[in-house]
Amino acid sequence: MDRMTLDQKLGQMIMAERASTTPDNVREFGFGAVLSGGGSAPGANLPADWVAMNDAYWMASVDDRDGRLPIPLLYAIDAIHGNANVLGATVFPHNIGLGATHDPDLIERLARMCAREVLATGLDWTFAPTLAVVGNVHWGRTYESFSSDPRLVASYADRYVRGMQGDLGRDSVIACAKHWVGDGGTTNGEDQGNTVLPESELDRVHITPYFPALEAGVLTVMASFNSWNAEKCHGHYHLLTEVLKQRMGFDGIIVSDWDGIDQLSDDYNEALRLSVNAGIDMIMVSVDWKRCLDGLRQLVDDGLVSMERIDDAVRRVLSVKARYGLFERVRPSERPWANHDSFGSAAHRALAREAVRKSLVLLKHDGSVLPVSKAARVLVAGKNADNRGHQCGGFTVAWQGVSGAEQIVGGTSIWEGIRAIAPNAVLSLDGSDANAAQHDVAIVVIGETPYAEGMGDIRRGGRVASGSGFGGPTSQLTPYGKTIELAELHPEDVAIIEAIGAKGIPVVTVMLSGRPLVVNREMEASCAFVAAWLPGSEGQGVADVLFGDYDFHGTLSFAWPKQARMSPKAAGMLFPRGFGMRMA
């Protein structure tokens, strides 16, 4: 650090988005890190494109011509359910499904697999795990949460970090516990909203999972968009510095969320001052990193941010890089896992498929329809039956996710999984071919379509704040819907179940969703009902269980609602946390 100029130090405090950052910018300003926001991808979005891109940034960061001090940069991505931004990645279930497996060992194995797929693309850092403890399923990010039970989230936190970071050797990836803190506790489940709680409750519910993550050595933590008792976390000295750094002893990097500091004040420099003085060490900037650099310089020159604070932040950045062995690593394209053929491999997909099997929760069974015989004449129907994009949900290839099969390279849709083991199965997406003389049973796959962040909120009205959507303001700034009652949210679902049932064909319903929903009518019309969450690319795992090769294993990690009320406390619950039936 003694050899660094002030400008070099300030550069290390910046994490800039790739679309607004060239390798020349990295060479000139020495950024500490570069990131990809959701859907921000180089070239044809194949591993080789990522490796080549990061190679160029890396070479720029270590260019020591003209007396520059070479400091390798870190590259970060949202590999939150596999390295799912990248085409051909193995996409495993979103966290809500992993919560239902109640299997910390599986979590560690999945995290290790995910680390390999991140390393295959030449990157270093993932913005995961999300340790949100969600209290209200109206939140659009409910699927990013393992559970509403802080103990379950805590039991995964250390295993996730260990799987990702390992022993910080060459097959490790830097983990990031997020979002600090109280993200899952906002009033009405509003994204980026306000969490109103006494500190003792914040501790008990939302801070609890961070202890095991820190014990496992998590190197980075991301600040949260939400406020705590009306004060934004991004500017919260008590939460960032006194609690996380001082009381809990966190000595890694606190990175801000996507332009999250901008919300602290209309005056950008004031927002910078508040956030850096509160304890933010690295600032995630979507576009205008120049404004950020100039602002930091101005604040230091004016004495509004002390050199001591800058040095503390830079020491944290460099010490994470040192602990991660970044100074000893070679350029991305020469690293042992770069472009490795384990990316999207059969072995990785087998593990994701195991996770799918274990995540399914059987909520209703009449005692006879399951398991479905492999010889049965099965009608497969419903809008989500043959849609790998819908299975994967948000944060897959694009920030808001994708529809169809084209962009989910590899894997199987639920229909493709059924077809592979039940030769007499036929597909009729709208169910119009249903005929009791021809079909013994129907498997109807219903539920939500992809969303991410605030666009997944269920709200009575209003617009939602944006997040890391790549490509500027998106047109989808409206919430997902107004109610968690599926019959209102997606009336086509109950309609197709009832229509097929009315023809005298027993219906097995499989629901894809990022949260529990009120499904009384759908359940009533079904002989069996399965919550399959957002299973990811390996739809085969659903067929594995429906046709009896494995029994159901998952149990709810969230209580299941009976009525659509804004406040979960006011609504009666249909099933408690821990509920889940077996076939046998």
> Hey, which residues are catalytic here?
257, 453
The tokens describing 508, both together, are: 């097995």
Query: Applying CB under 6 A, does 58 fall inside the site for ligand BGC?
Result: no
Interface mask (CB under 6 A) for ligand BGC, residues 345-364, using x and -? --------------------
Of the candidate residues 38, 72, 182, 554, the single one contacting ligand BGC (CB under 6 A): 38
Residues 127-146 that bind ligand BGC (CB under 6 A): 127
Angle between helices 268-278 and 289-301 (to 10 degrees): 70
Q: What minimum distance in Å lies between the beta carbon of 160 and ligand BGC?
A: 15
* Distance from C-alpha of 126 to C-alpha of 131, rounded to nearest angstrom: 14
Query: Applying CB under 6 A, does 37 fall inside the site for ligand BGC?
Result: yes
Q: Pick the closer one to ligand BGC by CB: 344 or 454.
A: 454
Angle at 567 between CA 563 and CA 570, to 5 degrees: 60
* Distance from C-alpha of 552 to C-alpha of 483, rounded to nearest angstrom: 29
- Residue in the structure block whose two tokens are 């009315």: 502
* Distance from C-alpha of 463 to C-alpha of 194, rounded to nearest angstrom: 16
Burial of 178 (0-12, 13-18, 19+ CB in 10 A): buried
Q: What minimum distance in Å lies between the beta carbon of 324 and ligand BGC?
A: 19
Q: How many whole angstroms from its chain centre is CA 174?
A: 15
Q: CB neighbours of 501 closer than 8 A, spacing ≥ 6?
A: 507, 525, 526
**Taking every pair of C-alpha atoms in the chain, what is the biggest distance, in angstroms?**
82
Q: Pick the closer one to ligand BGC by CB: 130 or 413.
A: 130
- Residue in the structure block whose two tokens are 């990809």: 36
Tell me how many residues contact ligand BGC (CB under 6 A). 10
* Distance from C-alpha of 401 to C-alpha of 406, rounded to nearest angstrom: 12
Of the candidate residues 257, 416, 457, 544, the single one contacting ligand BGC (CB under 6 A): 257
Q: What minimum distance in Å lies between the beta carbon of 533 and ligand BGC?
A: 19
Q: Pick the closer one to ligand BGC by CB: 35 or 527.
A: 35
Query: Applying CB under 6 A, does 78 fall inside the site for ligand BGC?
Result: yes
Q: Phi, psi at residue 185, to the nearest 5°?
A: -110, 15
In terms of Cα–Cα distance, which of 115, 112, 52 is closest to 83? 115
Query: Applying CB under 6 A, does 514 fall inside the site for ligand BGC?
Result: no
* Distance from C-alpha of 347 to C-alpha of 531, rounded to nearest angstrom: 25
Q: Pick the closer one to ligand BGC by CB: 117 or 257.
A: 257
In terms of Cα–Cα distance, which of 121, 534, 170 is closest to 330? 170
Q: Pick the closer one to ligand BGC by CB: 36 or 391.
A: 36
Q: Pick the closer one to ligand BGC by CB: 37 or 410.
A: 37
Position 351: which residue type? L
Residues 453-482 that bind ligand BGC (CB under 6 A): 453, 467-468
Query: Applying CB under 6 A, does 183 fall inside the site for ligand BGC?
Result: no
Q: Pick the closer one to ligand BGC by CB: 115 or 530.
A: 115
Rg (CA), the chain: 24
Q: Pick the closer one to ligand BGC by CB: 399 or 415.
A: 399
Q: What minimum distance in Å lies between the beta carbon of 419 and ligand BGC?
A: 35
Of the candidate residues 57, 250, 258, 324, the single one contacting ligand BGC (CB under 6 A): 258
Q: Pick the closer one to ligand BGC by CB: 101 or 468.
A: 468
Which run of H or of E encompasses 269?
A: helix 268-278
Contact 537, 544 (CB under 8 A): no
Contact 234, 182 (CB under 8 A): no
Q: Phi, psi at residue 76, to the nearest 5°?
A: -120, 150
- Residue in the structure block whose two tokens are 């419903």: 382
Q: What minimum distance in Å lies between the beta carbon of 401 and ligand BGC?
A: 14
Distances, alpha carbon 164 to alpha carbons 158, 169, 181, 329, 349, in Å? 10, 11, 21, 17, 18
Q: What minimum distance in Å lies between the beta carbon of 240 and ligand BGC?
A: 16
Q: Pick the closer one to ligand BGC by CB: 244 or 398.
A: 398
* Distance from C-alpha of 343 to C-alpha of 355, rounded to nearest angstrom: 17
Contact 535, 367 (CB under 8 A): no
Q: How many whole angstroms from its chain centre is CA 305?
A: 33
In terms of Cα–Cα distance, which of 271, 100, 252, 72 is closest to 178? 252
Give the three-class secondary structure for 378: strand
Interface mask (CB under 6 A) for ligand BGC, residues 427-456, using x and -? --------------------------x---
Residues 162-181 that bind ligand BGC (CB under 6 A): 178
Q: What minimum distance in Å lies between the beta carbon of 129 and ligand BGC?
A: 11
Q: Pick the closer one to ligand BGC by CB: 191 or 485.
A: 191
Pairing mode of beta strands 528-533, 361-365? antiparallel
Chain residues binding ligand BGC by CB under 6 A are 37-38, 78, 127, 178, 257-258, 453, 467-468
